[in-house]
Copies of this chain bind each other. A is one copy, B any other.
Amino acid sequence: MDLHILNYRLRVTSINTAGLSRYTHALIKLVFLSNQTRCKFFSLTETPENYTVVLDEEGFKELPESEHLQVESDIWLPLNVLCDRNASSSSDTVGVTKIATSVIIPLAEQHVSVFMLSTYQTDYILVREKDLPVVIHTLEQEFAIYREVGGETFRVYSEDTDVEEDRKEAVKMKVHPVLSPDNRFSVMSLDPATLPTIATILIDVLFYSNCSAEVENYASLGLDYIKFFSFSLIDGYISIVMDTETQRRFPRELLFTSSSGELWRMVRIGGQPLGFDECGIVAQISQRLAEANISAYYISTFSFDHALVPEEDISYVIRMLEKPLTEL
């Protein structure tokens, strides 16, 4: 299989809810006015805690500094596995499950932190730029690794043979509490040409939802909902993850999802914010999902990780994740 190190140097940032209005100007530009910015990798995920914004350096320039913006100190690079459809590795699962044993677990064993971003189109595995030698060394047995530089793609090889010697201790796995809200999610896309058509609804959902009747609406349903909405615009492709309540606000005909039209339930990982240095969290979850052959989208945010699993599998997944852990 091929693994590409994409040509984006990403920043992982968080805007607190109180400061969102300060960032509306920049975010609207990044979402809707792509002709006004050179940003090519943009992802915004709203959670009850904050807005996680992952974006390339061109996009990052648009965000004014303020006490409302937290920026993770490292540069992150997105990896992308290009699957050979004929050599389907083991299962018909999608998302993080598919790359659990080939990418996620080997990286965790080398103590490499990953930040996952699943979209409608693909799964991005973000690793710190400084971890790249270890990443290449770890993954080159399984993958042909390519790096995009200045529009061209080069095969890359591990340069540092010292890495091989550096055997790591087994990762100490911490049990993180999981939470599963009642929302049911769709993972959708739309033609970028139709984005202006839904602009006002999307703006309302993204930037004004806290003052809308929506939150009260959830409460009135007596459901244990959480706010979770993810929008990404990466290399011209749009991906939107939203719950069924929010989906009702959009015209039905413009957004499309996979032909099966599946709905997904969420498992949020972490009772306390996870931080960026603990490695193995994605591995912990994805390994078990892979063993059970359950597809999952996986979206990391500044505070928590989120796995989306098929609606019918949610009870099984929760039971499974609450079992004691074995070391990797």
Bound: A26/B195 CA distance, A: 22
User: Which of A186-207 touch B at CB < 8 Å?
Assistant: 195-197, 199-201, 203-204, 207
Type the 1/0 row for A21-35, where 1 means its CB is closer than 8 Å to any CB of B.
Answer: 110111011001100
In the complex, are the beta carbons of A208 and B21 less than 8 A apart? Answer: no
Which residues of chain A have a CB within 8 Å of any CB of chain B?
20-22, 24-26, 28-29, 32-33, 36, 64, 195-197, 199-201, 203-204, 207-208, 211-212
- State the main secondary structure of chain A at its contact with B: helix
Residues from chain B with Cβ under 8 Å of A208 in the complex: 29, 33, 36
Cβ–Cβ < 8 Å partners of A200 in chain B: 32-33, 195-196, 199
The 9 sampled A-B contact pairs (Cβ below 8 Å) are: A21-B22, A21-B25, A24-B24, A24-B28, A28-B28, A32-B200, A33-B203, A36-B211, A199-B203
Contact indicator A33/B196 (Cβ below 8 Å):
no
Quote the shortest CB–CB distance from A145 to chain B (angstroms).
38
Chain B residues within an 8 Å CB radius of A20: 25
Q: Which of B28, B36, B64, B195 contacts A212 (CB 8 A)?
A: B36
A207 to chain B, nearest CB (A): 6
